[in-house]
A = this chain, B = another copy of it.
Amino acid sequence: MAPQYAPSLRSRLAPLLLFLQIGFIVIYAFYTEIDSNVKADGTTFSSFYSDFQDVNVMVILGFGFICTFLVRYGFSGSGFNLLVAVIATQWALILNGTESWYYRGKIQINLRSLVVAEMCTASALISIGTMVGKTNPVHLIVIALLEVSGFVLNEWLLQTLLKARPVNSIMLLHIFGAFFGLMLTWILYRDESMQRFEKEKYDRKTGLFSMLGTVFLWMFWPSFNSVLLDNRIPGRKLGAVCSTYLALAVSAVTAAAVSVLSSPKGKHNLIQMQSCILAGGVAVGVSMSGIHQPWEAMTIGFAAAVVSTIGFRYLKIHMLLAFQCHETCAVMSTHGLPGLLGWLAQLVLEIKDCDDHTTAIRFAVFHICTVLITITLSLSTGIITGLLLKWNFWRPPQDKKCFDDQAFWEFPHLAVRK
């Protein structure tokens, strides 16, 4: 896959970006309007706006800085994340609005549609987590566009075929993103991965930058899980916030414990902890509608952190050796496994609450179909995207330029002096 020529971004990236952006502006000019159906008192706007900003901070800052742990890839980690996020959000706004466009002729833009679009973006950013450092920005944009399309298609299928609730289908973003990314990294495997990339490591300072991103994700995860819930049902948002908070707290403690237990020298591993303290938030997000007691959220957080920590330590290396999947950001153990665990927890919790067998079985069938459709669709769109990106036309970076900002960023002064 690795070509001999040094890839220049100019002939691919600039035209693609300009084409996409002008295309978006044209589409927005004809088919969108800002939602005029707003209540006069302003309360609704204000109460939603700070939640919107929390999600925005997670997507732009959190996902951006969690990727800066790579010692020579910080500029790309944070910069390309921003670039991909804004493209994916504009695209998701259009795709999510097609139904409204079909019936009313216009796509309504409001804070809720922006939040939903950012969640689709989050799904794309999760997929990209598997490929950080081994791609150029053109790849990332293509991945983001296709991933968002697949995810919106999945949402639409679940909502029309299975009558799933919007919130529940959106919360499957962790599972969709993780399996999509897994296929990408399997198809775009490089032999170099086996003997470890030279620059795939972290140091004291970059570890702290990614800690910063992680902490923002950790702190605002209660907003992420509760933002789409209906404010009018009393206590529902409060329940989601408290459950997520407790699950995250339990995850942090459990991840620290299991991380020390599984380490050969009895030490912590910063990157492992960063991934695994978030597992509780993922699992609770997926299983939200089944949780009614604090201890349920805490137990899910505990199990998610155990699964995630063990996954980080053993799964990552086995996936590389056995299946030739090289993940940069341990997406499978941060989002994939905890997401599946959350799905399972929801199944158990909802069945426990059912009064009769028929309802329980009906729910189980529905719930299993949901996840099967999601996984199938994410695997298949992931494979298609991977095959498309295998094409040398996209000029993938050479192996020795992987995980290196210098392939994409000017370093005028460093070049001379250091």
User: Which A residues lie at the B interface, using CB under 8 A?
Assistant: 8-11, 13-14, 17-18, 20-22, 24-26, 28-29, 32-36, 38-40, 42-43, 45-51, 53-54, 56-57, 60-61, 64-65, 68, 72, 74-75, 78-79, 82-83, 86-87, 89-90, 109-111, 114, 137, 201-205, 207-209, 211-212, 215-216, 218-220, 223, 231-232, 234-235, 237-239, 241-243, 245-246, 248-250, 252-254, 256-258, 260-261, 263, 265-270, 273, 277, 292-295, 298-299, 302, 405, 408-410, 412-414, 417-418
A241 to B22, CA, bound (A): 21
Cβ of A414: which chain B residues have Cβ within 8 Å of it?
201, 203-204
Cβ of A232: which chain B residues have Cβ within 8 Å of it?
40, 42
A20 to B249, CA, bound (A): 12
Cβ of A45: which chain B residues have Cβ within 8 Å of it?
231, 237-238
Tell me the dominant secondary structure on chain A's binding face. Answer: helix
Chain B: minimal CB distance from A54 (Å): 7
Known interface pairs A114-B245, A219-B60, A260-B13; A252-B32 also in contact (CB < 8 Å): no
Cβ of A243: which chain B residues have Cβ within 8 Å of it?
34
Verify A242–B34 contact, CB threshold 8 A.
Answer: yes
Verify A21–B254 contact, CB threshold 8 A.
Answer: yes
Verify B109–A28 contact, CB threshold 8 A.
Answer: no
Verify B79–A257 contact, CB threshold 8 A.
Answer: no
Q: Which of B17, B42, B83 contacts A47 (CB 8 A)?
A: B42
Using A60-B219, A79-B211, A79-B273 as known contacts, list a sample of 18 further A-B pairs with CB atoms less than 8 Å apart, ordered by residue number in A: A8-B265, A10-B260, A10-B263, A17-B253, A21-B254, A33-B293, A38-B238, A39-B234, A42-B234, A50-B50, A53-B54, A60-B215, A65-B212, A74-B211, A75-B211, A78-B215, A110-B238, A270-B409
